[in-house]
């Protein structure tokens, strides 16, 4: 019992708490409990909204990262395609030069100048091996003038 209630009873002994006062006190307690429930609910909703915002923000950041990575790789692929195209053009030019060459000496000159090849001095022997047994099967001499 509260001190105020004890004082009221002491000063007015005939006065007894009425049911309406008890109902009012119960109502106040239920209002306080409901307020705390609402406060907890608002807090939970706020935390859930913040978590959802964090998930969405991280998803957007990951999307931007993947898009940046894809664009960088696409740029590299385009550069490589340009290099491949340049090498194909160079190859076609060399094929045209080889086709236009009339003698072996001209071919050797193109090979030395353009491709940076050097003339061999001694014939080379190539040994082919059987992959199953690892033994030398044949020896084929290669001459400098072709087959």
pLDDT tens, per residue, the chain with 147 residues: 566 666 666 665 555 555 676 777 777 777 777 777 778 888 899 999 999 999 999 999 999 999 999 999 999 999 999 999 999 999 999 888 777 766 777 777 877 888 888 777 666 555 555 555 555 445 555 555 444
The answer to the question of residue 11 being in a domain is no
Rounded to whole angstroms, the Cα distance separating 79 from 31 reads 72
The answer to the question of residue 143 being in a domain is no
The answer to the question of residue 146 being in a domain is no
The answer to the question of residue 113 being in a domain is yes
Looking at the structure of the chain, the number of domains it has is 1
The pLDDT of residue 5 = 65
The answer to the question of residue 86 being in a domain is yes
Domain hosting residue 56, numbered range: 19-118
> pTM score, two decimals?
0.39
The answer to the question of residue 13 being in a domain is no
- Angle, helix 104-113 to helix 19-100, in steps of 10 degrees: 140
């Amino acid at each position: 019992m509260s001190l105020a209630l004890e004082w009221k009873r002491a000063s007015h002994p005939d006065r007894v708490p009425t049911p309406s006062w008890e109902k009012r006190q119960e109502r106040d307690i239920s209002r306080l409990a409901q307020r705390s429930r609402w406060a907890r609910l608002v807090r939970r909703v706020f935390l859930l909204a913040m978590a959802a915002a964090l998930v969405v923000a991280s998803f957007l950041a990951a999307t931007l990262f993947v898009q940046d990575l894809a664009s960088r790789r696409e740029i590299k692929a385009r550069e490589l395609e340009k290099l491949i195209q340049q090498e194909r053009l160079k190859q076609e030019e060399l094929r045209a030069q080889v086709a236009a060459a009339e003698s072996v000496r001209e071919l050797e000159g193109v090979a030395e100048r353009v491709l940076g090849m050097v003339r061999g001095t001694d014939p080379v022997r190539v040994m082919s091996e059987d992959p199953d047994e690892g033994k030398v099967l044949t020896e084929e001499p290669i001459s400098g003038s072709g087959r």
